[in-house]
């Protein structure tokens, strides 16, 4: 009888975990119920993508910069960026934030009637929990699969991370992608090669509210996230030629982005709450 009760209790706990969309990271395993999804664009009554008065794309889950092929006329086979892992400040709820660099997952056209379902990416996570405490880890993901924790590369708030992804050769047919990440603060590093058929339709540098089974998760209070030294196709990324994206999370948080820095290869993302974006300035 005790065995039956324990089994039922474990099953109920698993069901509640899945319904809530949260599963703690386990080394080397997928983060169950967690995905870093394509852009979820806010839309007007006609179904067109909403933009701010500064022409920033409005999203429910992304903030940052994207270089899309429909604007640059370029396919993307490599991208890189450096960022500081932000600390997650408690809001009294479970909340989540991700910093990443990736290829794919953005709009296919200026009106963004359709988002690109192909997305290959890697980044770091900064999460805070209602009961206190926080967690930080590195991960990679190739949609439609779930994210995978990089257990051999522990990270901490304040660490400076450099992440890159590169497609070998002409990047056609059976594409070979090398994903790499280095913790510049500790000297730790990770690299692995995968086969993935990417769309190559965009390169992006993003602060994201990841998605669980219950939908887009609350955005953790990350304060200010700083991206720098961004490249696309092995050249300095001119972010001014792409789209800036701001987030209005369904749970009430938001994330603004600054104009590009003086070298046009970096920017700041600034956390806020409510319908008014926090003023955000770039860090050189």
Q: What is the pLDDT of residues 121-145, one digit of tens each?
A: 999 999 999 988 999 999 999 999 9
pTM of the model: 0.89
pLDDT digits (tens, 9 = 90+) for 200-217: 999 999 999 999 988 999
Host H or E run for residue 211: strand 211-212
- For the segment 219-244, the average pLDDT, to the nearest whole number, is 97
The span from the CA of 99 to the CA of 209, in Å, is 9
Question: Coil, helix or strand for 189?
Answer: strand
Host H or E run for residue 205: strand 202-208
Q: How many CA atoms lie within 13 A of 98 on its CB side?
A: 27
Domain borders along the chain are 2-273
Q: How confident is the model at residue 110 (pLDDT cuts 50, 70, 90)?
A: confident
76 close to 233: Cβ distance less than 8 angstroms: yes
The span from the CA of 97 to the CA of 127, in Å, is 6
Q: How confident is the model at residue 284 (pLDDT cuts 50, 70, 90)?
A: low
Q: For position 17, what pLDDT does the model report?
A: 36
pLDDT digits (tens, 9 = 90+) for 3-33: 443 333 333 333 333 333 334 443 334 455 5
Q: Domain spanning 2-273 has what CATH number?
A: 2.60.120.700
């Amino acid at each position: 009888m005790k065995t039956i009760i324990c089994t039922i209790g474990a099953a109920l706990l698993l069901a509640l975990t899945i319904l809530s969309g949260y599963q703690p990271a386990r080394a080397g395993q997928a983060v169950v119920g967690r995905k870093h999804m394509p852009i979820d664009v806010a839309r007007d009554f006609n179904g067109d993508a909403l933009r701010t008065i500064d022409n920033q794309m409005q999203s429910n889950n992304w903030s940052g910069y994207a270089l899309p092929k429909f604007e640059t006329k370029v396919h993307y086979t490599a991208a890189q960026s450096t960022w500081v892992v932000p600390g997650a400040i408690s809001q009294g709820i479970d909340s989540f934030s991700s910093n990443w660099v990736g290829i794919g997952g953005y709009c296919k056209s200026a009106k963004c009637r359709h988002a690109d379902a192909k997305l290959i990416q890697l980044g770091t996570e900064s999460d805070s929990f209602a009961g206190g405490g926080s967690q930080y880890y590195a991960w990679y993901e190739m949609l439609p699969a779930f994210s995978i924790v990089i257990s051999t590369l522990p990270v901490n708030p304040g660490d400076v991370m450099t992440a890159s992804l590169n497609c070998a050769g002409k990047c056609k047919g059976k594409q070979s992608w090398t994903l790499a990440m280095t913790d510049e603060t500790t000297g730790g590093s990770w690299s692995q090669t995968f086969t993935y058929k990417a769309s190559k339709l965009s390169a992006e540098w993003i602060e994201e509210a990841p998605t669980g089974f219950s939908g887009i998760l609350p955005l953790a209070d990350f304060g200010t996230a700083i991206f720098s030294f961004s490249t696309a196709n092995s050249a300095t990324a001119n972010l001014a030629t792409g789209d800036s994206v701001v987030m209005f999370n369904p749970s009430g948080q938001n994330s603004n982005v600054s104009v590009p820095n003086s070298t046009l290869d970096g920017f700041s993302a600034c956390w806020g709450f409510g319908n008014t974006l926090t003023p955000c300035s770039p860090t050189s």
